[in-house]
Structures are given as structure tokens and as C-alpha cells.
Structure 1
């Protein structure tokens, strides 16, 4: 057992060094969209579309953040909330807010049932209905858990204009609340970032495409050209598919960090986190079973093995006293744990995720491994594969 533990810790140290090094390089090189010092004037017409389904916890704060982040008038800015057949109090909360504010920029749309005989996944049907209500030159799609910062809309539109983009997608700063979020979010987000290549995504000569659904700003002409959300109606991960269509059509795509523009708290409970990540994780790998299982193994190696080594080493020393072997095991485990803390510190400047609860990364590794395996099973079988209770399994 001692030899096996030494070997695992050696592999853990090697992978942790690579992990920390790549994350540090990413934090130094990743592009970030800063708030514009002087907003673009005059602003072209822009509509903000928020599709919602059972978002009673989020909808008021989301809409207020949009309306309060800008002074753009109703002639230039429209905000459309589309209620996608919610079964909670989302619609009532939005109506009460509209009556209280009496802001002509805010529009509420009670979404229609999904067309029979057609497959419409996720937010695609709600977004399609909202787009039909407006002719604005720019379409900004936001999730209800996003909170915009002052100047965010003007900055995004100005960037679109200056760089002649057709789709601008920003990754908001990540907020964590419950313990499950602190365990899972830093590990999944950091792993995504380590393997992410902004340069390839933003290079029109490559086939690499990506976008983040919480914040997607389209030029209306480009959105119509690729068929909009109607063209990806049957896609669960519609944001990435829309980005692919933008790029493959020869249009200009840019994906960038947007910590200064917006924040997002993706999940507000352990149950919501489990449902959300098991919905998306395996699809995000394009159903790469080998890659997903390799991810699970590496994550456990980096996060969980050193803590197990530390506990085993301390228990053996308590029983047998100090020996060179167990001292070596403790030093190896401690070295990896120190690298874990360093990685969490590197994550903060680019994602907004503080190093809180970093000492629970061993448990976090187990939790994320469970999410990955659960996502594989759900996606391949359709068992329990849902979003807010709605089944996602496609008909055979």
C-alpha cells in the first residue's frame, strides 16, 4: 500500500504542477472586456431578452439590474422578459415589478406552449418568440441569474461596433453561495479555462467556436442569417451551436471574459447544481466518453489523492511513529495541497471566485467526479435528464 500511495502522490504532484502552471498562464493572458470609459454615442437600438422558466428567485433582481445599469431611453432600449410556461410565481413577480416601476422600456411576454410535433429544447422557443416582437439592430440574450454592471450594455454594443463583430459573448464573474457551489464551481470552471483557447475561438480562420449562454450579443442581421434559435431548436447546449453557426457562416465571433460587465450565480442549491451540470457537462465534451473519464481520473488525482495521503500519513505516524517513508508521504501531500491553494488564488482575478473553502478541494474532487459520471449516464440513457423538471431526452 505504501508503494502505491507514493506512486499516486508522485503522479498527483506532477499533474498539480501542470494544472497550476496552466491556470497561472491563463490568468495572465486571458482577454477581458473592460467597461468603456466613454460610452458609444449615439447607441443603436438594442433589445435585451431574458427567457425565464421558474425563476421566481431571480427575475426581479435580474430585470432591475438591466434597467438600472443604463440610462438608454425607450427609443433605444427594450427589455423583454419571456415567461416560458413557468409554474411558480415568476410571472406574478414580473407583473408587480412592471406596475411598480412603470418603465416604458420593460416589456413582458407570456410565452405560448411549444408547437406540437416539433422538438424545442431549453430556452430556444422562448427566445424565438421574443425576437419576433422587435426589430432592434442588436439582440442581447441574458439568463435570469445574470446581474449587469453599470455601463455593461453600452460597452458591449460599442465593442461590437468598433470591432465589427456579429456575435459577442462574455463570461460573467461567477458568484458562489451554498457549500455545494464552493465545492464544485471552482473546479469545473478552472478545468474549462485550462483547456480553453481564446485565440482559436476568436480566430476566424479556425473551426473552434464557443459562446456562453448567460451573455450573448448578436447583430440582428447575423442572427437572422444563421436562423436564430429556431435553427437550433433541438439543441440542449444551444449557445455553443449558435457560435458554431456564426463562425461556419463566415461571420465574426468573439468570446471574452466579462467580469466587469456582469456577474452570474448559476445555481442556488446543491440540487439545482446537480441538475444543471449533469445536463450540460457531458454534452459540452461532445459526448467524449474517454475524455470525460480521463477528466474524472485526473481530477481525483489532483484534488482528492493528496488529502487521502495526508490523512493516511498522519494516522500511520500516530500509530508507528515518525519514519522517513511517512515523512516523505506527508511532504508530497502537503506540496500538492499548497499547489491547490495557489490554483484557487490564480482563479480569482479572472472569474471572481475567491479561494473560500479551498481546503475542501478533496471533497470537491469527489463531487465533480460524481457530476461527470452522472452526466454521462443521464445523457446516454435519458434517465433523470431534466432541467427544472422538464425532460431533455430526445425521442428515438
Structure 2
């Protein structure tokens, strides 16, 4: 029975790794960082809350954008107390493309990030064009905005999510952050996602997100996701519900992002959102157990069987582990991430993700989830 389980793991992990490879080589869109031009009207929208130490490089990269002659940059200071607005004023100086507005606190029923984004979109007006939402921890290459807009139009999509290259510094980041791209490359059928009208079949990353202005309005904008923690994914679903199409892309050649700069930030950031990512606790439990079975059990089984002198179990279990490592390498290669030797720690990454997920549900149940000084409800 144990040998049969080991071989079943080989088949399952092998299929998933093959699927990641198919997504990466055939279906994943890749905006080019080379010189690209768009004549469309583009509004880059930058929400900020206590980002004085991060906004500088982000805003300088936005001011250095090329190939977008009709570019405006709207920055919203969402009640910062660390001097964020002063940093923006110093960097932007008298550049006519930049407008800094003061946000107001979210009304009842709204979370902070969706309301900040809605205020920005309202300030950008209603003329045809493209809205580009960018987070303060994103660094764009000179032609990033132009290349992303061209990709949006080439895909005939309403919403495009060009996922930035994730920069990971600490050990905790290197264990957890690569799972962001690995999960959707491994488990999400990208071609079916683009073609399907099902809102449930959607993915997006809010760090760098483009949406056609008219399509955004048809979907009711961020008002449609006003109380959603994962407002990026929910906005993609709202776009689908309104008849639009969505697309994912590898944005590693045009954007980079270090989401968290310490273990505490990473831990609390995932606590804020993982409970919303996996749905009801029963579903989350099933997903985490499946991931542990496929990616954490094989090396344990391989070592245990080898010590017990059962090679007919140890060898296929080792093969399942190596196939999991291969899947992580495929993801890293496809998205500009760090593959070797970090991929060898894939079982540990999955275990840590399971712990972060359990912690997220625990804190939510106790009403102890906060982000940037605001409760997450």
C-alpha cells in the first residue's frame, strides 16, 4: 500500500509539474522591456499609506517612463503619518504629470485599499484609456507601462495582471514568496482562464494591474469589491461578471517588487489575506492537506523508507520530491525568480504556508487582524 501511495505521488506531482511547464512555455504572456510606444491616454494610480521609505524609487521609476506621451500620475496619500506626502512633493517637484491628492477615511462597508483605489480612479476621470494601479513597493523598467498597455490590447483583455519579479531577501521571504507565482502556474489553467467567462476562474496581483477604463466602469470599479481583502482577484472576477476578459502575464522583465522587508511584515501580511484566499475553513484545510501530501510527505517518506530498507518505496518517494523541486524550478525560470538552491526547500515552503494559513484563520476568528493600523473585517 505504501509503494502504491509513493507511485501515486509521482504521477500526481509529475502531472502538476508538467502543467506548470505547459503554462510557462505556451500560455504565459511576456511583455517585452524593449522600446515600446502607446498613444493611449494612461493614468497611473498610486495609493500610499505610510510609505515614506518606499515611495521614492517607485515614483522616480514612474517619472522615468518612456513611450507614453499621454501619461498622468495620480498619487493618493491615505492618511499617512510618516511624511509620505512630503516625499512625493519633493520628488515630483513641478512635474505637471503628477497630482497628489489627500485621501479621506473609508466609509462604513469599505476597506482601506479598495477605497483608496476608487478615489484614485474617480480622480482620473472618465475619458477612454487605461488605468494602471501600482503599489509603492514596485519598481518599473523604463518602458514597463507602455509594454503592459500594448500587451493588454494584444490580448483583447479588459484587465491584465503582469506579475512583477518577486525580490526576496530574508530566509522567510525566500521560502514563502516564490509560492505566489508557483501556485498559479502549477494549478491554474491559464488558457482556460482567459477564455472562460466563469468569475471563479480568475487570478490577479494588485501590485501592478492594468484595466481598460470603460471596462472598469462597467464592472462598477472598486465599489464592486469594497469589502474584499483580496481586492485584486475580486476586481478580476467583477470584470468577468460584467462581460470582460482577463489575462495574466509574466512581468519579471518590466517590473520588480519586494513586498515585505522583514519576517514580521511577511507574517502579518499573509495573516491579513490567506483566510480570504482559501475560502471557508473546511476548504482551506483540504487545500493545505493536499499540498502537504503532494510536496511535504515525499521526502519524509523517502528517508523513512530508506532507513527501513524498503527501496521500492524510497525510490518513487524520492522521485516525487524531485519532481516537486523541478516544478519550483520551472516557476522560477518562468518568472525571473531564484531557483537554485531555494527549490530544494519546497517541502519546507509548503509547511510554512500551511502554518501561515492556520494562523490567518485563527487571528480572524479572534478579531485580531489589522493592516496599516486598520482592522481587517
Equivalent residue in structure 2 for 1:103, among 88, 91, 95: 95
Check 1:222–1:10 CA distance in 2 against 1; reply closer, same or farther (3 A cut). closer
Q: 1:199 aligns with which of 191, 201, 204?
A: 191
Q: TM-score, normalised on structure 2?
A: 0.87
Which residue number corresponds to residue 261 of structure 1?
A: 254
Rate the CA distance shift 1:159–1:19 in 2: closer, same or farther, 3 A. closer
Q: For 2:31, what is the secondary structure of its paired residue?
A: coil
Quote the offset at 1:37 in angstroms: 5.7
Q: Equivalent residue of 2:178, what SS?
A: helix
Deviation, 1:163, is: 5.1
Aligned twin of 1:238: 231
Unaligned runs of 5+ in 1: 317-322
What is the CA deviation profile of residues 181-233 of structure 1, one whole-angstrom value per residue up to 9, with x for unaligned ones?
11112335312322212223222644433332122222222222332223322
Task: Describe the shift of the 1:33–1:361 C-alpha distance in structure 2 as closer, same or farther (beyond 3 A).
Answer: closer
Cα distance, 1:141 vs. partner? 0.7
Structure 2 residue 142 is matched with structure 1 residue 150: yes
- 1:261-280 matches, cutoff 5 A: 261-280=254-273
User: What secondary structure sits across from 1:141 in the alignment?
Assistant: strand
2:375 aligned with 1:391, yes or no? yes
**Alignment partner, residue 28 of structure 1:** 25
Q: Distance in 2 between matches of 1:190 and 1:165?
A: 23
**What SS does structure 1 have at the residue aligned with 2:177?**
helix
Unmatched runs of 5 consecutive residues or more in structure 2: none
Q: Which residue of 2 aligns with 1:305?
A: 297
Quick check: 1:198–1:256 contact (8 Å CA) kept in 2? no
Instruction: Give the Cα separation in 2 of the matches to 1:261 and 1:359.
Output: 27
Kept in 1, the 8 Å contact 2:20–2:187? The answer is no
Confirm or deny that 1:93 pairs with 2:53. Answer: no
Measure, in 2, the Cα distance between the counterparts of 1:188 and 1:152: 21
Q: Deviations over 1:266-321 (max 9, x none)?
A: 22222222222222223223x1434321222232233333443455567x5xxxxx
- For the pair shown, the structure with the greater C-alpha radius of gyration is 1
Partners of 1:108 and 1:78 lie apart in 2 by: 11
1:370 and 2:360 correspond: no
- Taking structure 1 as the reference length, the TM-score comes to 0.83
What SS is found at the alignment partner of 1:371?
helix
**Matches of 1:189 and 1:36, distance apart in 2:** 20
RMSD of aligned residue pairs (Cα, Å):
2.8
